Amino acid sequence: MTGGGFATSANGVEFEAKITPIVIISCIMAATGGLMFGYDVGVSGGVTSMPDFLEKFFPVVYRKVQAGTEKDSNYCKYDNQGLQLFTSSLYLAGLTATFFASYTTRTRGRRLTMLIAGVFFIIGVALNAGAQDLAMLIAGRILLGCGVGFANQAVPLFLSEIAPTRIRGGLNILFQLNITIGILFANLVNYGTAKRMGMEVIVRFGGNPALLLTVGALLVTETPNSLVERGRLDEGKAVLRRIRGTDNVEPEFADLLEASRLAKEVKHPFRNLLQRKNRPQLVIAVALQIFQQCTGINAIMFYAPVLFNTVGFGNDASLYSAVVTGAVNVLSTVVSIYSVDKVGRRFLLLEAGFQMFFSQVVIAIILGIKVTDHSTNLSKGFAILVVVMICTYVAAFAWSWGPLGWLIPSETFPLETRSAGQSVTVCVNLLFTFIIAQAFLSMLCHFKFGIFIFFSAWVLVMSFFVMFLLPETKNVPIEEMTERVWKKHWFWARFMDDHNDQVFVNGKKSNGKSNGFDPSTRL
Ligand code: BGC
C-alpha cells in the first residue's frame, strides 16, 4: 500500500513521501479520538427527549412534555435550563481542559495527550453509567468534557503533522469522519434503547470508543515535528524515514529543524500568539470556530429528536429521522475526504455555503407556515420535505465547515504557535458549542421557525469571509505556510513583514510589505 509522491517546498526542493501503511494505520487509530466527541454530541439529543431519562433526572420537563400541547407552545416544551446544562456542561469542561492539553501537547507530545484523553473518557463513561442522580451524571459529563478537550487538541495536530502533504486534508478529515460515526452510533443506540433497553445502556456503549482511543494512543508513533520540537532529533529523523517510507528525508527534516529553531525562541506561546505576525492564523482559527458553530449544526445534532418532535413527528419517527440525518452526515464526510486535496478547501466551503443557505430558508418557510404555537398541521409531504432539506443542509456542512473547521487551523499555525493556536481553536469551538447548546431550546422557544433564518444569515456572512479572507492551503507543506500562503495573500501579507513586531513596538505605523491582490492565492 505504498504510493510514491513529492511535494515541493518553498525554495523549490522536493519532499519525497510515500503513502505508507504506518501513516494510514496511525491516522486511523488517532482519529478514533473523534468517536467519543461525536458520541457525546449524539447521546445528548437522544436521551434528552427520552421519557424515562426525563422522568428520572428532569421530572419538571417530563411533566411538561407529558401534559401535551395545551399549556405550552410547541416550540417551548423542552425549554429548561437544567436540561440544557446537562448537554452543555461537557463543553464547558472541555474548553477549560484544552489549556492544560496545550501544555502537554507541546512539552510531552501529541501521543501522551491522546492517551490522557482516553483515560478521561473511560472514567467519565464509568461515572455516567452508574449515575444515580443528576450530580453524578453531570460529574461524568465533566470528565468526558476533559477528554474532549485533550483529544480535540492533540488529534488534529497529530494527523496534520504525520500526513504527507498531498493527502493531508483527507487524512485529517478522518477525525471528523469519526465524529460523525460517533454521532450516528449514538443515534442508533438511542433508537434501539428507546424501544427496548434502559437509558444506562446508551451511556455504557460510550465505553467502546473510549477504549479504542486509549489502546490506539499506546500503539501509534509520535510525530516527527513533536519529537524535533522537544529536542529528540535523531528519533525525529528515524520516525520521519519510517513514516515517509524513504531515506531521502533531508529536505523535510531541514524544514522541521528550522521550524523548531524558531519555536525554541518562543518563551510564552500564548503571548506569542498575539503578536502581529501571528494575527492572520489566529483570526482565521477563531473565526472558523465561531462560524462553524453559527451554521447551526449542533442545533440539529443535539436536538434533532427534540426538533423532529416539535414539528409534529411522533417519538419513534423523530429518532428515526435523527438516524437518517446521522447517516447523511457520515456519508457526506467521505465526499470531503475524497475531494479536499483535489478541489481545495475554499471551493468546498463556498459551495456548501450556498447549499446550507438555501435549505435553511426553505425549512424556515415550511415551519413558519405549517407549525404554529399550538398546532402542527405538517402533512406527510411537508414533513418529508423538512427531513430532505435538513439532510441537504447536513450534507453540505459535512463536506465543508465540519471537517475544515478542524483541518484549517491545525495546518496553518507555524510550529512555534501550533499547540497554543490549536488550544485557542478548541476552546473557541467548545465555547460556541456550549453557547448554542445552552441557548438553542430557549432560542427555539422565542424565535420559533425564525431560528433557521438566524442561522442562514450567519451562513451568508461566513461565505463572504471565505471568499475574501481565507487563503487556499491545499498541497502546501505544513511548515511552509508562512512563505507560500500568508506572505502571498492580498490582505494578510501586510502582517507578515519580518520587522513588523519591531515597528509595532516602536509605535510606528507598519508599512506592511503587502504583495497586493493576488488572485492565485484566492482560489
Ligand atoms: C463540530 C461539532 C458537530 C459535528 C457534527 C464537528 O465538526 O465541531 O460541533 O457536532 O461536527 O458532525
**Quick check: 6 pLDDT over 60?**
no
For residue 399, give the nearest of 470, 447, 472, 343 by alpha carbon. 343
CA of 297 to the centre of ligand 1 (A): 7
At 57, list the grid cell. 433526572
Angle between helices 250-264 and 415-447 (to 10 degrees): 80
Question: Radius of gyration (Cα) for the chain, nearest Å?
Answer: 23
**Sorting pLDDT into bands at 50, 70 and 90, what band is 511?**
very low
Query: Nearest residue CA, atom 7 of ligand 1?
Result: 402
Q: Taking the alpha carbons of 288, 290, 293, 294 in that order, is the dihedral positive or negative?
A: negative
Of 98, 148, 159, 176, which is best to mutate to test ligand 1, by the most ligand atoms within 8 angstroms of its C-beta? 176
Q: Is 173 in the pocket of ligand 1 (CB under 6 A)?
A: no
Measured distance CA(34)–CA(407) in Å, rounded = 13
**Sorting pLDDT into bands at 50, 70 and 90, what band is 18?**
confident
Q: What is the mean pLDDT of residues 331-355?
A: 97
pLDDT over 70, % of the chain = 80
Task: List the single range of 31-35, 219-223, 281-285, 432-436 with lowest mean pLDDT.
Answer: 432-436
**Sorting pLDDT into bands at 50, 70 and 90, what band is 114?**
very high
pLDDT over 90, % of the chain = 47
**Quick check: 236 pLDDT over 70?**
yes
At 24, list the grid cell. 494510514
CA of 36 to the centre of ligand 1 (A): 12
**Quick check: 282 pLDDT over 90?**
yes
Looking at residue 94, what is its pLDDT? 94
Q: Which domains does the chain have, with CATH numbers?
A: 21-220+266-495 (1.20.1250.20)
Angle between helices 207-219 and 21-31 (to 10 degrees): 150
Q: Is 359 in the pocket of ligand 1 (CB under 6 A)?
A: no
One-letter amino acid identity for 384? I
Query: Nearest residue CA, atom 6 of ligand 1?
Result: 402
**Quick check: 471 pLDDT over 90?**
yes
**Quick check: 263 pLDDT over 70?**
yes
The predicted-structure confidence for 310-336, as pLDDT tens digits, reads as follows: 666 766 776 777 788 899 999 999 999
Q: Is 433 in the pocket of ligand 1 (CB under 6 A)?
A: yes
At 332, list the grid cell. 457526506
Task: List the single range of 68-82, 98-112, 253-267 with lowest mean pLDDT.
Answer: 68-82
Of 1 and 183, the structure prediction assigns the larger pLDDT to 183
User: What is each CA distance from 228 to 189, 254, 256, 418, 434, in whole angstroms?
Assistant: 43, 11, 7, 14, 36
Angle between helices 415-447 and 279-294 (to 10 degrees): 30
Query: Nearest residue CA, atom 12 of ligand 1?
Result: 180
**Quick check: 520 pLDDT over 50?**
no
**Sorting pLDDT into bands at 50, 70 and 90, what band is 515?**
very low
Looking at residue 381, what is its pLDDT? 78
Q: Is 322 in the pocket of ligand 1 (CB under 6 A)?
A: no
Of 35, 159, 301, which is best to mutate to test ligand 1, by the most ligand atoms within 8 angstroms of its C-beta? 301
Q: What is the mean pLDDT of residues 282-307?
A: 87
- Residue by residue, DSSP assigns 221-261 as PPPHHHHHHTT-HHHHHHHHHHHHTSS--HHHHHHHHHHHH
Q: What is the mean pLDDT of residues 486-495?
A: 93
The predicted-structure confidence for 124-155, as pLDDT tens digits, reads as follows: 988 887 777 778 888 888 999 999 999 999 99
**Quick check: 517 pLDDT over 60?**
no
**Quick check: 377 pLDDT over 70?**
no
Q: Is 402 in the pocket of ligand 1 (CB under 6 A)?
A: yes
**Quick check: 344 pLDDT over 90?**
yes
For residue 322, give the nearest of 310, 336, 305, 347 by alpha carbon. 305
Q: Is 298 in the pocket of ligand 1 (CB under 6 A)?
A: yes
**Quick check: 518 pLDDT over 50?**
no
**Quick check: 117 pLDDT over 90?**
yes
Of 303 and 421, the structure prediction assigns the larger pLDDT to 421
**Quick check: 234 pLDDT over 90?**
yes
Q: Taking the alpha carbons of 163, 165, 171, 173 in that order, is the dihedral positive or negative?
A: positive
Measured distance CA(311)–CA(372) in Å, rounded = 9
Looking at residue 509, what is its pLDDT? 39
CA of 183 to the centre of ligand 1 (A): 9
Query: Quick count: other Cβ atoms within 10 Å of Cβ 521?
Result: 21
- Mean pLDDT: which of 11-20, 51-60, 365-374, 385-394 is highest? 385-394
Whether the Cβ atoms of residue 484 and residue 496 lie closer than 8 Å to each other: no
**Quick check: 405 pLDDT over 80?**
yes
Q: Is 176 in the pocket of ligand 1 (CB under 6 A)?
A: yes
Please, what is the average pLDDT of the chain? 83
Q: Is 332 in the pocket of ligand 1 (CB under 6 A)?
A: no
- Mean pLDDT: which of 40-49, 64-73, 368-377, 427-436 is highest? 427-436
Q: Is 301 in the pocket of ligand 1 (CB under 6 A)?
A: yes
Q: What is the mean pLDDT of residues 28-47?
A: 82
Of 189 and 332, the structure prediction assigns the larger pLDDT to 332
**Sorting pLDDT into bands at 50, 70 and 90, what band is 45?**
low
**Sorting pLDDT into bands at 50, 70 and 90, what band is 505?**
very low
Query: Nearest residue CA, atom 4 of ligand 1?
Result: 402
Of 41, 410, 455, which is best to mutate to test ligand 1, by the most ligand atoms within 8 angstroms of its C-beta? 41
Looking at residue 469, what is its pLDDT? 97
